[in-house]
A and B are shown apart, each in its own frame.
Chain A
Amino acid sequence: MCVDYKDLGALTPSALRRVRAKIGFVHQDHALVPNLRVSQNVIAGSLGSRSFVSAVRSMVWPDRAALERAAAILTRVGIGDKLFQRTDRLSGGERQRVAIARALFQDPSALLADEPVSSVDPARARDTVALLLELSRERRSTLVVSIHDIALARDFFPRLVGLRQGRIVFDEPTERVDERDLAALYAIEGLERVERGGI
């Protein structure tokens, strides 16, 4: 697989770290460290560009600049008051915001979100997708979201990629995706279906 024309399998570990540091990933289950503070989880987003000693310092005694940046990002995603809370005291929706903030703290050139709306109610699902879109427009970065809800994908994303069992079924601007494409995507019930939208 190639990223920026670089074959990931052929990279040295440190070159691979540099590539990974520029890709923000919002995990389906958030994958935060529950017994650390929100600030620590957010600042962990910068581990990819830190040496071990600098990482220890940033996790144990973060400097003012890092804390202020974390606070600004948390405010942007709507939970600015939670900076020094323990992460496991937050609600599921708030934890998802922390996971998004951690990805933003990386200052990524691409943001990937794995099923960000699978475990939230429909109203919040739209909020979350809208937030991800706004954030990547502000930052002019790529956004790729995997999603099961076709209506949601159609409403928000300019480009849809239909995936079935790891194969691309269609890859078109949203307005050109028609019933035939969807029929091909869902031809046999019970198979895994993933809908991707990107800008």
Chain B
Amino acid sequence: MAASNASGHIAVRPLFGTRGVVLLGLFLIALAAWFALGLSPRGLIPHAGGVEIAQRFFAGALHPAIDYESAPPIDADSFLVTVLAAAKRTVVFAAAGMSLALVFGIVLGFLGSSAWWSGGTAPSSRFLARFAWPSVWIAARTTIVFMRSIHELLWAVLFLAAFGLNTFGAVVAIAIPYGGTLAKIFSEMIDEAPRDSGLALRHLGASRLQEFWFGLVPRAFPDMCAYAFYRFECAIRSSAVLGFFGFPTLGYGIAQAFENLHYDEVWTYLYALMALVVAVELWSGALRARFVA
């Protein structure tokens, strides 16, 4: 880079480059948003009764319940068994939703990746190259956007209205937005993977499909795996929250305990949820360690 021109003057560094203007703009937008909402720290000072509730709630963190706080129905399981069963169902809902989402994510991620459609080898015919393939790509991208622009809780409300308290509805409610997000991220990871090994396979005569699956996807696979694990962790949280709509996951127990003001029970459920998230984290961490040679 030439810092001086022919007459010997040193080029002047602009005081405010484009980057500075953009940063300032973003800061002003954030400030405007705060003013528009009238945010003030005073909003966080609870009213008199609120202080007491908050104290009791946070005190529960120190002594989570190991038994029901009031007499349960006669035929009920012991409290800890109930929590464990809810935790298990939370994982089952999340796993069912994720497995369906992975199918969506892999198929749509494949169709939606530009590495696949703009490979550069001779397309099979001019019509396919000009109209058919681009419309498949656009359809895939549109489907991906549609799937992930609606939150899983909204899908759950919709399915609840349509089918009632249906397990399959809950699983599909998780699978749709998660499938869309996986497809978006998978396609980006594949597009960003190094191309050299795929090109080498093309040079030794591999078809486009072979080049994609054996040259490109393996390069992106460790990242895709790590991301799928992260989404599984998110799915566990979503599955827990679905309990608030009446599905038998951890959220159901949390909602009931809240209603009965049994804060110690709430904390037992919350700790169970944290344990699940930590378990997934440890599992994925162990797997990542094996991927990185």
B residues near A50, Cβ cutoff 8 Å? 210
Please pick, from A29, A35, A89, the residue contacting B291 in the complex, using a CB distance under 8 A. A35
Q: Which of B202, B206, B207, B219 has the most CB of A within 10 A?
A: B206
A76 to B200, CA, bound (A): 22
B214 near A25 with CB under 8 A, answer no
B204 near A35 with CB under 8 A, answer no
Please pick, from B199, B204, B293, the residue contacting A47 in the complex, using a CB distance under 8 A. B204
Please pick, from B196, B205, B293, the residue contacting A21 in the complex, using a CB distance under 8 A. B205
Q: CB of B218 within 8 A of chain A?
A: yes
Q: Which of B200, B221, B291 has the most CB of A within 10 A?
A: B200
Please pick, from B122, B196, B210, the residue contacting A31 in the complex, using a CB distance under 8 A. B196
Please pick, from A12, A21, A32, A86, the residue contacting B204 in the complex, using a CB distance under 8 A. A21
Task: Give chain B nearest CB distance to A73 CB in angstroms.
Answer: 14
Q: CB of B201 within 8 A of chain A?
A: yes
Q: A13-B121, A13-B124, A44-B214 are in contact. Are A35 and B205 (CB under 8 A)?
A: no
A52 near B201 with CB under 8 A, answer no
B222 near A55 with CB under 8 A, answer no
Task: Give chain A nearest CB distance to B116 CB in angstroms.
Answer: 14
B residues near A154, Cβ cutoff 8 Å? none
Tell me the dominant secondary structure on chain B's binding face: helix
B210 near A47 with CB under 8 A, answer yes
A residues near B291, Cβ cutoff 8 Å? 35
B204 near A25 with CB under 8 A, answer yes
| Chain B interface, number of residues (Cβ within 8 angstroms) | 25
A47 near B218 with CB under 8 A, answer no
A35 near B218 with CB under 8 A, answer yes
B121 near A45 with CB under 8 A, answer no
Task: Give chain B nearest CB distance to A95 CB in angstroms.
Answer: 12
Q: CB of A149 within 8 A of chain B?
A: no
**B212-226: contact bitstring with A at CB < 8 Å (1 yes, 0 no)?**
011100110110000
Q: A47-B201, A47-B210, A52-B210 are in contact. Are A86 and B196 (CB under 8 A)?
A: no
Q: CB of A33 within 8 A of chain B?
A: yes
Q: A35-B222, A55-B210 are in contact. Are A88 and B293 (CB under 8 A)?
A: yes
Closest to A28 in B: B196
Task: Give chain B nearest CB distance to A102 CB in angstroms.
Answer: 8
Task: Give chain B nearest CB distance to A113 CB in angstroms.
Answer: 13
B196 near A29 with CB under 8 A, answer yes
A residues near B121, Cβ cutoff 8 Å? 13
Q: CB of A103 within 8 A of chain B?
A: yes
Task: Give chain B nearest CB distance to A122 CB in angstroms.
Answer: 26
A18 near B218 with CB under 8 A, answer no
> Which residues from 13 to 53 on chain A have a C-beta closer than 8 Å to any C-beta of chain B?
13, 16-25, 27, 29, 31-36, 44-45, 47-50, 52
A7 to B168, CA, bound (A): 57
Q: Which of A17, A33, A48, A59 has the most CB of B within 10 A?
A: A33
Q: CB of B13 within 8 A of chain A?
A: no
Q: CB of B203 within 8 A of chain A?
A: yes
Closest to A51 in B: B207
Q: CB of A106 within 8 A of chain B?
A: yes
What are the 6 tightest A-B residue pairs by CB atom distance, in nearest-first order? Answer: A48-B205, A21-B205, A31-B200, A20-B205, A47-B206, A31-B196
Q: What are some 12 contacts across the A-B interface (CB < 8 A)?
A: A13-B121, A13-B207, A20-B204, A22-B205, A25-B203, A32-B197, A32-B200, A44-B201, A44-B206, A47-B204, A47-B214, A52-B207
Which residues of A line the B interface, CB within 8 A? 12-13, 16-25, 27, 29, 31-36, 44-45, 47-50, 52, 55-56, 59, 86, 88-89, 102-103, 106
